[in-house]
Amino acid sequence: MILASLDAKSMIKSKLEPFVHINQIGIETILLDEPNYNRWISKVDKSWEGSIPATAVWQGENWIFIEDSFELYSDLQNIIDKFEIH
């Protein structure tokens, strides 16, 4: 899993790093430093209108894109479980 932040580069120290620390996020978090969102939004998912948060989960050829937040960790876990190899 990789988390991608859309924060401005100037907000890394003031917002992104404190958020990762406070929420004890122990996975790779990257900054998507591309200000021209219209150039790449449709490359993530053709139906995406650019709202955040958004979540993409894929494994091999299987892919799901959710343009919404999760109130419960278990909601996200249920989606991830669909992609686990059994």
Are 7 and 16 within 8 A, CB to CB?
yes
d(CA 15, CA 59): 30
- Condensed to tens digits (0 to 9), the pLDDT of residues 35-57 reads 788 888 888 888 888 888 888 88
Q: What is the pLDDT averaged over residues 58-85?
A: 80
How many Å from the N-terminal Cα to the C-terminal Cα in the chain?
18
Q: State both tokens at 6.
A: 């859309």
CA–CA dist 36, 47 (Å, integer): 18
Owner of token pair 């004890």: 24
pLDDT at res. 14: 93
Res 55: pLDDT: 85
Rounded distance, CA 44 to CA 80, Å?
18
